[in-house]
Amino acid sequence: MDQVSERLTALSPSETLAMSQKSNELKAQGIDIINLSVGEPDFFTPDFIKEAAKKAIDDNFSFYAPAPGFLSLRNAIVDKLKRENQLDYTPDRIVCSNGAKQAVCNVLLSIIDPGDEVIVPAPYWVSYVEMVKLAEGRNVIVPADIEQDFKITPAQLEAAITPRTKALILCSPSNPTGSVYSKEELKGLADVLAGHPNIIILADEIYEHINYIGKHESIAQFENIRERTVIINGVSKAYAMTGWRLGWIAAPRWIAAACNKLQGQYTSSPSNVAQKAAEAAYLGPQDCVETMRRAFERRRNLIVQLASDIPGLKVRQPQGAFYLFPDCSYYIGKSFKGKTIANSAELAMYLLEEGHVAAVGGLAFGAPNCIRFSYAASDENLTEAMARVKKAIEILI
Ligand code: PMP
Ligand code: GLU
């Protein structure tokens, strides 16, 4: 008998992982699929990082580590925050987890009581709203469409705040839109939040290094909200280390302590080998980060140019991350062989089955008019994928 809890029944599966899984299944059947669904760098982890991991094994890093991670790794993260972000932290304010994904979830589970509201600007990364549900909080979605570059305004933020607002989740550079908030825009939001001292700000900066407009700006730089801002980051995107599962928070001491306690009861620390690899990543030469960023920028330019050639798609040039998020509403309601495409999830399924390109419908990101293509793929694959999308989409009537 199925006795899955109500909490789990209410949870949606991750659409990004599901589309990737589906694409892999079709590939296994021998169908030539180009997978632009899951968002992860297609590069190999740099050699010096892999060497550090091998050394950790040989040096017998095989015993339990402290729940928040080795002090040496947390010190390397403190150094990174000083060097790259000009922010002062101490290692007791850092908690390392199994990916930034667990880091976000830890924070939400640590601060949300049932019924607390969490402001989530849409389009949002798929997992935020599900994690809020897990924590028994209420999502308050603030929509920002392509005309406003997918970024919320201070007035929108102010209007969404109620006495029950507990947190805001802000992602810049953004998955899925690729939008980047400027320093002035962040200051505008910080000034609103300054008037509401109980709101915790979760600043998801996992795409910090994949930025095409210059220096990364963290909302934690503003003193009026710094004491209640939690930075979320990790090595997945910057160092091509998605499978190593190493993310972290830099947080107020009480939130770090709460996450430490929580994690101590259900996962302990992330894997020692991944921790030593991440430590090497932060302490080692950083030129690999810039090399990969440049490659992403070139691909961004390529996919923007190719997608702009597809009639009906509304394309905006992303300023960071590695996603193109065009508005495809022109094609919603059209049909193929008599079957109507009712929403962007169905459009993504159509592109997979008929065009053999895997993308993710915007519905899962709270943006039913859009579709997400990850351009962390080779130039050849991007060119072929956009040709396939064009061919498949043009025959819809
Ligand atoms: N935040 C965002 C916005 C992401 O896109 C991802 C990637 N899945 C994560 C967090 C989680 O990253 P990680 O691989 O470190 O768990
Ligand atoms: N962040 C990636 C994505 O959005 C990885 C998948 C996931 O963790 O959901 O595709």
**Phi (first) and psi of residue 144, to 5 degrees:** -135, 115
Please name the residue that has the structure tokens 């989740």. Answer: 169
Cβ(140)–Cβ(165) under 8 Å?
yes
CATH architecture assignment, domain 6-44+288-394: Alpha-Beta Complex (3.90)
Whole-angstrom distance, CA of residue 257 vs CA of residue 240? 29
Instruction: Kindly give the confidence (pLDDT) of every residue in the chain, 397 residues in length, as a single tens digit, with 9 standing for 90 and above.
Output: 789 999 899 898 888 888 888 899 999 999 999 999 989 999 999 999 999 999 999 999 999 999 999 999 999 999 999 999 999 999 999 999 999 999 999 999 999 999 999 999 999 999 999 999 999 999 999 999 999 999 999 999 999 999 999 999 999 999 999 999 999 999 999 999 999 999 999 999 999 999 999 889 999 999 999 999 999 999 999 999 999 999 999 999 999 999 999 999 999 999 999 999 999 999 999 999 999 999 999 999 999 999 999 999 999 999 999 999 999 999 999 999 999 999 999 999 999 999 999 999 999 999 999 999 999 999 999 999 999 999 999 999 9
CA 392 to ligand 1 center in whole angstroms: 30
pLDDT attached to residue 373: 98
Q: What is the DSSP letter of 355?
A: I
Nearby residues of 340 by Cβ (< 8 Å), 6 or more positions away: 333, 334
Give the ligand whose atoms come closest to the C-alpha of residue 100. 1
pLDDT attached to residue 108: 98
Residues making up the chain, counted from first to last:
397
Give me the CATH code for the 52-283 domain, please: 3.40.640.10
CB of 242 closer than 6 angstroms to any ligand 2 atom: no
Both structure tokens of 374: 């990850």
Whole-angstrom distance, CA of residue 236 vs CA of residue 104? 14
CA 302 to chain centre: 22
CA 334 to ligand 1 center in whole angstroms: 33
CB of 38 closer than 6 angstroms to any ligand 2 atom: yes
Please name the residue that has the structure tokens 């969490």. Answer: 118
Cβ(229)–Cβ(255) under 8 Å?
no
Give the ligand whose atoms come closest to the C-alpha of residue 205. 1
Residue with the nearest Cα to atom 3 of ligand 1?
175
What atom in ligand 2 is closest to the CA of residue 101? 8
CB of 381 closer than 6 angstroms to any ligand 2 atom: no
CB of 68 closer than 6 angstroms to any ligand 2 atom: no
CA 100 to ligand 1 center in whole angstroms: 5
CB of 247 closer than 6 angstroms to any ligand 2 atom: no
pLDDT attached to residue 13: 83
**Domain boundaries along the sequence of the chain:** 6-44+288-394, 52-283
Give the ligand whose atoms come closest to the C-alpha of residue 106. 1
Q: Measuring from each residue's beta carbon to the nearest atom of ligand 1, which residues come in under 6 Å? A: 39, 99-101, 125, 171, 175, 204, 206, 234, 236, 242, 247
Enclosing H/E stretch for 264: helix 253-266
pLDDT attached to residue 16: 86
Whole-angstrom distance, CA of residue 83 vs CA of residue 88? 10
Residue 169's SS3 state is: strand
